[in-house]
Each structure stands twice: as C-alpha cells, then as structure tokens.
C-alpha cells in the first residue's frame, strides 16, 4: 500500500476525467460532468480516510467510468435525444477512451476549447484553470487576486460562449491550427505570468499557477501535431523564470530585484531543463517572441553576478523582441538595460519615446525608471519627484514598500 498519494493527484485527475467525459457526452453537458467528477472526489476523500486503495489512480478512473452510467441515467430523464455513443466517439469503445494516450488527447481538446477565440480573453484563463486544471472557483479567485463572483461570471460567460458558438471538441488541424495554437500559448503564458509576477503574502497558490502552466505546455509538446519551436521556447522561458522563483522575495517577504537575489539559490535543474528546451526551440530558424524572452531570461541566468550581466546582449534581444512587438513596456525595459550599461544617452532616447499613459497601471515602472535616470545624472530632486509619482500610482503592497525604501535611501543623499 502506498503511504502517500502523488501530489495534486486529485486536481490533475479531475482535469483528466472532465475532459474524457466531455469527449463522450459533449461540451453541452459540461456542468453535469463537472458535478459528477467532483462527486467522485468527495467520495474518495471519505473512503480513503483509513486505507488507501492499492492503485488510487485506477480507483478514480473506475469511479469516473461508473459516472458515465450515472450521467446516462440522468440525461435520460432530462431529454429524449441522448448522445449516440457509437456515433459520437466513432468506433472507439468507451473503456479505450480511458487509456493514457486518449486521456492526453481529450485534455488537449479541452485546452483548445478553453483558449478558443470565441471566448473573451479574460474568461479563457479562468475556464482553463477550472476545467483543464481542476481548480475550484475559490482557488482561481485567490490565484488571480480576483473576487469569487467575478470568476463565477467569467466561467458562465465562457460556457455560454461555447454553447453559442457550438464549439467542437477537437484538436484543430490544417490551416486553422497555427492561430489556435498561438492563442493556447498566449493563455499558458498569461497563466504563468499571473503566477510569476503577482506578489501576494501567500506565494504558494501562485507558484502553483507556474507549475500548472508548465504542465499544460508540456502537454502541447508531447503531441506531434501541437509541438512547435515556439512551444519549446515558451517552455524554456517558463523553466528559466521558475529557476529563480524562490529567490524573488526574502524571508520577510520583501521583494528582491535581480541585483539582490541570492544567485546560489537558483534552481539549476530547471536551468538545465530550459537549456535543453531552448536547443530544440532554435532548430527552427523562425523565432517567436518566446524565443527572445527566453534568450533574455537565459542571459540573466548566465551571469555569475549582477555586475557580470551581459547588458549588450540583453539589449540586442530586446531590440529583436521590440521589432516583433512594438510595445511601450519593451521601450521601458530597454531604457533600464541601457542604464545598467551606463549608456544614459540611449536610455534617455528610449524614455522619451514613452508616455506613461500608455503603460496604464504599470506607469509606476516608468516613473521608477525616470527616478533611476535622474539619480544617475545626480539630479536628486528630480529623482525624488519621480519616485513620488511612482508611489502615487503603484497598487501592489510589496512594490510600494520597495519604492518607499528606495525613496528613503535617496532622500538621505546630499542634494
């Protein structure tokens, strides 16, 4: 008997079973399916209190298969037109749909549904976390720092969009695939960033978002139709970022910038994983934005110390990235990179091209960079002015504390 279950077994299994059952019964019965699967886990949690089954996964799968019959019975009382099992899933017998390869296939189909352009971009993340990843509404709300009610609305909006557009439960092929795949990668990228960039007291749930985004990305790479060089690059990028996830804050949960992170605590197996993925990604000569972002992340990891960072190279990758995505945030970053490289002329050149309104709630980053610029130019009064502007517009507590610390140090300079 196993002493302990695999971490996240229930969560992962929930995503698997919802996907397989959806393949059998169709997207129109999604809610019923989700309830039935949830019920399996409540039962397991009670039945396994004293004794774990020999093969917990097989137990859960068997339970889900039994749910097929339950769902059938339920549907029979509700409607005359039952999904024709023979027709719906072709010649494949139901038990074959529960084989590992078919489960993976069903999950990929669900990912493509979740990331379908018919869904509002904001609804895609919530829907993916719910149906593919097995998060509860409460978990999604706490991971995304959004009210439970809002998540509930997003989920029901997503379900309605699926019904209205009568989405197919399949992996798109041919001409349709590249765009759809791009949309999937974008959602995975966003899920990862939600986990990596938001800073909350309870980091745990956010780290799970990073882990989950990587898991889903791995699923894309495991299927020959959905495996692309951009996918490899995205996976490399996530691995590189994850390698330094633990060093982003200190023991007092204060935010640490790259300069002050303990580089000995970076997780090197993840760096190696990133390198391996990156090698696969560059076999295709066409680079995506993920290639450049991964290259930048790798460059940071290569440097032994902050002072040893190869800023020239990083700037070069940012310039490539900016060509693909001419966004003001990239300009801002390029300005910061130039300042690290003590090229203040070029930095000012980039800063002049930005208007803070374009950055919306990230305007404080611009003001912070302006403060750094003026500090470097020894114009402390101007720098303090910009720091105050930054403090006026920052919303995140940790970021605010970071800026306040910076301001206190700066104010003590002779000026």
Partner 1 sequence: MKEFMMIFSGADYADLGLSPEELQNRMGKWFAWSNKMEQAGILKSGNALHSQMRRIVGENRTVTDLTSAEVKEIVGGYYIVDAKDFDQMQEIAQDFPDFDLGGTVEIREVMVFDN
Q: Which of 118, 137, 190, 303 binds partner 1 (CB under 8 A)?
A: 137
DSSP letter string over 178-236?
A: HHHHHHHHHHHHHHHHHHHH---S-HHHHHHHHHHHHHHHHHHHHSTTT--HHHHHHHH
Residues of span 14-33 touching partner 1 by CB under 8 A = 14
Give whichever of 103 and 295 is closer to partner 1, judged by the CB atom. 103
Give whichever of 127 and 386 is closer to partner 1, judged by the CB atom. 127
Say whether 255 sits in a helix, a strand or coil.
Answer: strand
Please report whether residue 411 would count as binding partner 1 according to CB under 8 A.
no
- Which among 137, 118, 116 is positioned nearest to 38, based on CA atoms? 137
Least separation in angstroms between CB 171 and partner 1: 25
Stretch that binds partner 1, among 6-14, 71-79, 98-106, 338-346 (CB under 8 A): 6-14
Please report whether residue 69 would count as binding partner 1 according to CB under 8 A.
no
Give whichever of 203 and 407 is closer to partner 1, judged by the CB atom. 203
305-308: long-range contacts (C-beta < 8 A, 24 or more apart)? Answer: 305/263, 306/258, 306/259
Least separation in angstroms between CB 129 and partner 1: 11
- Which among 213, 185, 220 is positioned nearest to 197, based on CA atoms? 213
The conformation of residue 6, written as its DSSP 8-state character, comes to P
Give whichever of 26 and 53 is closer to partner 1, judged by the CB atom. 53
Please report whether residue 138 would count as binding partner 1 according to CB under 8 A.
yes
Give whichever of 41 and 266 is closer to partner 1, judged by the CB atom. 41
The length of the chain in residues reads 415
Location of structure tokens 């200190």 = 250
- Which among 252, 146, 131 is positioned nearest to 187, based on CA atoms? 131
Please report whether residue 11 would count as binding partner 1 according to CB under 8 A.
yes
Q: Which of 25, 127, 135, 322 binds partner 1 (CB under 8 A)?
A: 135
Please report whether residue 9 would count as binding partner 1 according to CB under 8 A.
yes
Residues of span 139-198 touching partner 1 by CB under 8 A = 139
Q: What are the backbone dihedrals phi and psi of residue 249, each rounded to the nearest 5 degrees, phi first?
A: -130, 155
Please report whether residue 368 would count as binding partner 1 according to CB under 8 A.
no
Least separation in angstroms between CB 209 and partner 1: 13
Please report whether residue 41 would count as binding partner 1 according to CB under 8 A.
yes
With contact defined as beta carbons under 8 Å apart, do 399 and 387 qualify?
no
Q: Which of 31, 48, 392, 411 binds partner 1 (CB under 8 A)?
A: 48
Please report whether residue 10 would count as binding partner 1 according to CB under 8 A.
yes
Please report whether residue 66 would count as binding partner 1 according to CB under 8 A.
no
Give whichever of 137 and 398 is closer to partner 1, judged by the CB atom. 137
Please report whether residue 50 would count as binding partner 1 according to CB under 8 A.
yes
With contact defined as beta carbons under 8 Å apart, do 160 and 207 qualify?
no
Least separation in angstroms between CB 42 and partner 1: 5
Please report whether residue 38 would count as binding partner 1 according to CB under 8 A.
yes
Location of structure tokens 């020999």 = 54
What is the rounded CA–CA span in Å between residue 131 and residue 30? 9
Consecutive H or E run containing 415: none
Stretch that binds partner 1, among 46-54, 243-251, 334-342, 367-375 (CB under 8 A): 46-54
What the block records as the tokens of 286 is: 């066409």
Give whichever of 9 and 177 is closer to partner 1, judged by the CB atom. 9
- Which among 298, 121, 143, 112 is positioned nearest to 212, based on CA atoms? 143
First-to-final CA distance of the chain: 71
- At residue 10's C-alpha, the angle toward residues 7 and 11, to 5°, is 85
- Which among 291, 324, 132, 137 is positioned nearest to 220, based on CA atoms? 132
With contact defined as beta carbons under 8 Å apart, do 113 and 162 qualify?
yes
- Which among 149, 118, 155 is positioned nearest to 135, based on CA atoms? 155
- CA dist 357 → 346, 389, 393 (Å): 22, 13, 11
Stretch that binds partner 1, among 2-10, 94-102, 168-176, 349-357 (CB under 8 A): 2-10
Least separation in angstroms between CB 210 and partner 1: 16
Give whichever of 49 and 80 is closer to partner 1, judged by the CB atom. 49
Least separation in angstroms between CB 263 and partner 1: 32
Please report whether residue 52 would count as binding partner 1 according to CB under 8 A.
yes
Give whichever of 136 and 276 is closer to partner 1, judged by the CB atom. 136
Please report whether residue 39 would count as binding partner 1 according to CB under 8 A.
yes
Q: Which residues bind partner 1 (CB under 8 A)?
A: 4-5, 8-11, 13-14, 38-39, 41-42, 44-50, 52, 134-139
């Amino acid at each position: 008997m196993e002493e302990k279950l695999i971490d996240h077994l229930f969560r992962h299994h929930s995503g698997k079973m919802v996907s397989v059952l959806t393949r059998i019964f169709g997207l129109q019965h999604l809610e019923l399916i989700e309830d039935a699967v949830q019920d399996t886990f409540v039962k397991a949690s009670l039945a396994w209190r004293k004794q774990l089954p020999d093969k917990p996964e097989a137990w859960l799968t068997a339970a889900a298969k039994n749910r097929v019959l339950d769902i059938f019975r339920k549907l029979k009382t509700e409607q005359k037109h039952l999904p024709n099992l023979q027709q719906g899933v072709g010649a494949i017998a139901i038990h074959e749909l529960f084989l590992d390869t078919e489960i993976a296939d069903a999950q990929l189909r669900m990912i493509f549904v979740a990331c379908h352009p018919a869904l509002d971009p904001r609804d895609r993340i919530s829907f993916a976390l719910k149906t593919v990843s097995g998060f509860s509404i409460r978990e999604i709300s706490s991971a995304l720092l959004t009210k439970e009610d809002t998540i509930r609305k997003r989920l029901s909006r997503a379900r309605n969009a699926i019904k209205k557009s009568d989405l197919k439960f399949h992996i798109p092929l041919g001409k349709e695939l590249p765009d759809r795949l791009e949309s999937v990668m974008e959602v995975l990228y966003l899920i990862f960033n939600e986990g990596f960039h938001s800073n909350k007291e309870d980091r745990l749930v956010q780290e799970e978002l990073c882990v989950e985004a990587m898991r889903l990305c791995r699923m894309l790479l495991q299927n020959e139709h959905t495996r692309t060089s951009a996918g490899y690059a995205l996976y490399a990028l996530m691995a590189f970022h994850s390698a330094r996830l633990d060093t982003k804050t200190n023991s007092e949960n204060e935010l640490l910038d790259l300069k002050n992170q303990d580089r000995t605590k970076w997780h090197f197996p993840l760096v190696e994983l990133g390198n391996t993925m990156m090698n696969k990604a560059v076999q295709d000569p066409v680079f995506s934005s993920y290639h450049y972002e991964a290259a930048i992340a790798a460059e940071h990891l290569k440097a032994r110390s902050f002072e040893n960072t190869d800023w020239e190279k990083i700037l070069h990758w940012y310039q490539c990235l900016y060509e693909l995505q001419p966004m003001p945030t990239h300009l801002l970053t390029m300005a910061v990179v130039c300042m690290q490289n003590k090229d203040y002329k070029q930095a000012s050149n980039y800063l002049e091209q930005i208007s803070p309104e374009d950055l919306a709630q990230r305007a404080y980053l611009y003001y912070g960079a302006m403060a750094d610029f003026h500090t470097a130019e020894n114009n402390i009064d101007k720098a303090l002015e910009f720091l105050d502007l930054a403090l006026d517009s920052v919303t995140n507590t940790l970021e605010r504390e970071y800026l306040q610390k910076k301001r206190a140090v700066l104010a003590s300079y002779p000026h």
